[in-house]
């Protein structure tokens, strides 16, 4: 059993804890929060053995083998480095870094120390990944791909009232591209590779947060259009259009709700599944990489290369759309 620590006490951490429990591959060792009382309460609620409120002490602990990071985006690079330097495997929530150069440096550090450094991206490790790949072979020559993740934030009204909301705080490297758009970028790069060129735009709130955005990726043979928003909800979702059929995709983040449409006939290939079940896939793959390095080396290399490509593309989209961050130095 892999002794796991978690950093963060939000809903996404609770989802991962449920997925980890279902995987049967981990021991919930330590829950971290900067506030001791919150750390203790969170540990007791979810069945951790211990709680901790000092990040350096957690990183140096001999009681943990790996850590799941679900802290604000701006914290990810420094926290990942801390744990990698102390011999711990790292599963970090998306976006794993705020700039692509950070990933290259941290991946090199993980390789040097014989550790796994992985972005927690659901789609790549879900059952729908193989289903979608197989469906692509049935739709012929691709004419157009459209990946959409427009979901009105549950905290949007609070933000409009002028109250602080982390996900719209650009000093935390937040905003819509980082929160939702990254899933669209991952889908495009995973399925089609790196585009030849791109254009991008965004709409902004008064504080500079990107509220919605779009990017057109030029694959020469076809365009892939990415759309993402946290200020409104999409009713169309995603699709890949070929000259022999169309794939409808209900969830670009999970690769679930997959339907093949040919000659007006819709064939369900994979239903929308429980989010915890999908997250169990990424948790189990993280465990595979740690426990079976010889058997999973090539897949891990591919995932690492994809992660690097995704974040290089994210940097290009930020530049094209003029998305600016007022990032403050994060102190451990």
pLDDT in the model for residue 263:
95
Kindly state whether residue 290 falls inside one of the protein's structural domains: no
Which residues touch 112 (CB under 8 Å, ≥6 apart)? none
Shared domain check, 161 and 86: no
247 neighbors 239 (Cβ within 8 angstroms): yes
pLDDT in the model for residue 254:
97
pLDDT in tens, the chain (332 residues): 999 999 999 999 999 999 999 999 999 999 999 999 999 999 999 999 999 999 999 999 999 999 999 999 999 999 999 999 999 999 999 999 999 999 999 999 999 999 999 999 999 999 999 999 999 999 999 999 999 999 999 999 999 999 999 999 999 999 999 999 999 999 999 999 999 999 999 999 999 999 999 999 999 999 999 999 999 999 999 999 999 999 999 999 999 999 999 999 999 999 998 999 999 999 999 999 999 999 999 999 999 999 999 999 999 999 999 999 998 777 67
| CA proximity to 25, closest of 304, 298, 296, 292 | 292
Please state the pTM of the whole predicted model. Answer: 0.97
Question: What token pair was written down for 145?
Answer: 């791909």
Domain that holds residue 50: 2-123
Kindly state whether residue 300 falls inside one of the protein's structural domains: no
Instruction: Give 24: exposed, middle or buried? Use CB within 10 Å, 0-12, 13-18, 19+.
Output: exposed
Shared domain check, 201 and 177: yes
Question: What token pair was written down for 24?
Answer: 């049967």
What's the domain count of the chain?
Answer: 2
Kindly state whether residue 207 falls inside one of the protein's structural domains: yes
Shared domain check, 66 and 148: no
pLDDT in the model for residue 332:
76
Shared domain check, 238 and 215: yes
Question: How many Å apart are CA 115 and CA 108, to the nearest integer?
Answer: 10
Shared domain check, 141 and 95: no
pLDDT in the model for residue 328:
75
* CATH number of the domain to which 209 belongs: 3.30.360.10
* CATH number of the domain to which 56 belongs: 3.40.50.720
Shared domain check, 188 and 65: no
Strand-strand pairing, 197-204 and 142-150: unpaired
pLDDT in the model for residue 303:
98
222 neighbors 136 (Cβ within 8 angstroms): no
């Amino acid at each position: 059993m892999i002794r796991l620590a978690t950093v963060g006490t939000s809903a996404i951490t609770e989802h991962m804890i449920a997925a980890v429990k279902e995987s049967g591959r981990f021991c919930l060792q330590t829950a971290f929060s900067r506030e001791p009382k919150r750390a203790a309460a969170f540990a007791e609620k979810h069945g951790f053995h211990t709680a901790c409120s000092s990040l350096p002490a957690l990183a140096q602990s001999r009681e943990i083998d790996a850590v799941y990071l679900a802290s604000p985006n701006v914290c990810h690079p420094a926290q990942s480095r801390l744990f990698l330097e102390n011999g711990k495997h790292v599963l970090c929530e998306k976006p794993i870094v705020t700039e692509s150069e950070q990933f290259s440096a941290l991946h090199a550090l993980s390789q040097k120390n014989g550790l796994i450094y992985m972005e927690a991206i659901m789609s790549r490790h879900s059952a729908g990944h193989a289903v979608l790949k197989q469906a692509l072979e049935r739709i012929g020559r691709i004419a157009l791909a459209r990946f959409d993740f427009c979901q009105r934030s549950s905290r949007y009204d609070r933000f409009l009232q002028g109250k602080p909301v982390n996900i719209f705080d650009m000093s935390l490297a937040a905003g819509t591209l980082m929160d939702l758009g990254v899933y669209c970028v991952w889908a495009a790069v995973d399925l089609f590779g790196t585009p030849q060129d791109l254009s991008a735009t965004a709409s902004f709130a008064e504080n500079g947060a990107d509220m919605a955005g779009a990017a057109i990726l030029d694959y020469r043979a076809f365009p892939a259009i990415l759309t993402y928003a946290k200020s409104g909800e999409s009713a169309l979702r995603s699709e890949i259009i070929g000259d022999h059929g169309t794939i409808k995709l209900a969830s670009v983040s999970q690769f679930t709700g997959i339907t093949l449409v040919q000659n007006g006939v819709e064939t369900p290939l994979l239903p929308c599944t429980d989010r915890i079940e999908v997250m169990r896939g990424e948790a189990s793959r993280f465990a595979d990489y740690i426990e079976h390095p010889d058997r999973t080396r090539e897949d891990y290399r591919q995932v690492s290369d994809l992660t690097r490509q995704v974040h290089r593309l994210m940097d290009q989209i930020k530049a094209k759309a003029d998305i600016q961050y007022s990032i403050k130095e994060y102190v451990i």
